[in-house]
Amino acid sequence: MNRLRKLKAILEDKKDSCAIILGSPNLFYFLEYSGAGALVYCDSRFTLLVPALEMYRAENVKDVDIVIYYPSKILENVIEGNIFKAIEKIINKNSIMVDVNWVDASTYRALSEKYRVMDFSNEITRLREVKDDDEIERIRKAGEITAVAMKIGMEKLSEGTSNEKQVAGIIDMTMKSMGAEDYAFPSIVAFGENSAYPHHIPTDRVLRNNDIVLFDIGAKYNGYCFDSTRTFVFKNSEAKKVYEIVLEAQMEAIDIVRDGIVASEVDVIARRVIEKAGYGKYFIHSTGHGVGVEIHESPAISMNSKQILKENMIITVEPGIYLKGRFGIRIEDTLIVTKGKPIVLETAYKLL
């Protein structure tokens, strides 16, 4: 697999160390493996360590050795003990490279007691930031599924009868019926004053006349995520004004996205438009984030980000204004960074 070759090229420069890759997103990224375990690199070989309950799933993984562990000797080829016992059997050096983003405190302590632990999370992050053709195609497909779910959700809105939970359920069911294995994150459906909470959890709140409706949804397709937000404005003159401000901020920010731009510049452009309109203190999150195996991953599109955007990164641009007790407006697109204008993977027209 090409991603394993890229990882091996990094690790071959660390000849005095072995490496341990932990975390479900990392294991899926490098192996297309969805299950518990750890990927170990030592002596130019990759070994996937898995508990016995995952051994059938692990049979489908290519280009690595498979080692199974279990608390007792239930099979001849099983290492008796936990994952640390399995690691000790494979690693024969005093130092190990670890992506510390995926190591909890107890695991880090256990590893540190036996090895000199060195962090190589930055190297893993850099590998995952730029997407290959297969990853881009999966994200495109996740976007197509999201677009259908967005449309169906809009069509199911009915004043006096639709509530947030029901519409969120319809959206989730639509995504799965279209081929998604799951949603990329719990679908957000927010009516009226609830739209002022950026990460609102759907409730029994029923749609009323003149309500703002906010959908923040995304499908997960073959391991890859999508993210889209649309806000629908119903007969509310102030909300329409705020919508226009957010839309201008988003479009101006999208317009400067390209290979070579510092990510913070995108945030600055969006924030400047909103601040000029007098709503700066109501824009309470960053302008965007990377999307891939995880719904939030590098690069961060924030005011303090020093990361440089690169061709084939996939990011979101999602400014918002949130007025507590009244309404919130957010507009979000997922887009592909290119050397010129970005490719916007739209899910619905942005209309008042």
- In this prediction, residue 352 carries a pLDDT of 55
Walking along the chain (352 residues) 10 residues at a time, the average pLDDT comes out as 87 83 96 94 93 92 92 81 88 91 90 91 95 97 97 92 95 97 97 97 94 96 98 80 96 98 98 98 98 97 96 98 97 98 90 60
Position 80 scores a pLDDT of: 87
Name the one residue in this structure whose structure tokens are 């939970």: 165
Q: 181 — phi, psi (to 5°)? A: -80, -20
Neighbours of 148 (CB within 10 A): 16
Phi-psi region of 55 (alpha: psi -120 to 50; beta: other; left: phi over 0): alpha
Which CATH number is associated with domain 131-342? 3.90.230.10
> What is the spatial distance between Cα 54 and Cα 286, in angstroms, rounded to a whole number?
38
Predicted local confidence at residue 22, as pLDDT: 95
The pLDDT value recorded for residue 143 is: 97
Which CATH class name applies to 1-127? alpha beta
Q: How far apart are CA 201 and CA 211, in angstroms?
A: 17
Per DSSP, the residues of 274-332 read HHHTT-GGG--S-SEEE-SSSSSEEEEESTT--PBP-TTBEEEE--EEEETTTEEEE-B
Residue closest to 146 by CA, chosen among 316, 340, 26: 316
Phi, psi of 225 (to 5 degrees): -100, 165
Distance between CA atoms of 197 and 322, rounded to whole angstroms? 7
| Cα–Cα distance for residue pair 52/27, rounded to 1 Å | 17
Q: Are 68 and 89 in contact (CB under 8 A)?
A: no
Instruction: Please state, in angstroms and rounded to a whole number, the distance separating the CA atoms of residues 245 and 243.
Output: 5
Residue pair 229/331 in contact (Cβ under 8 Å)? The answer is yes
Neighbours of 74 (CB within 10 A): 10
Domain with CATH 3.90.230.10 in the chain: 131-342
Which CA distances in Å does 102 have to 26, 124, 328?
Answer: 9, 11, 34
According to CATH, where is 3.40.350.10 located in the chain? 1-127
Phi/psi at 82 (5° precision)? -90, -170
Q: How far apart are the first and last CA of the chain?
A: 46
> What one-character-per-residue DSSP string does 140-157 give?
HHHHHHHHHHHHHHHHT-
Q: Across 113-264, where does the E strand assignment appear?
A: 116-119, 182-183, 188-191, 213-217, 219-221, 224-225, 228-232
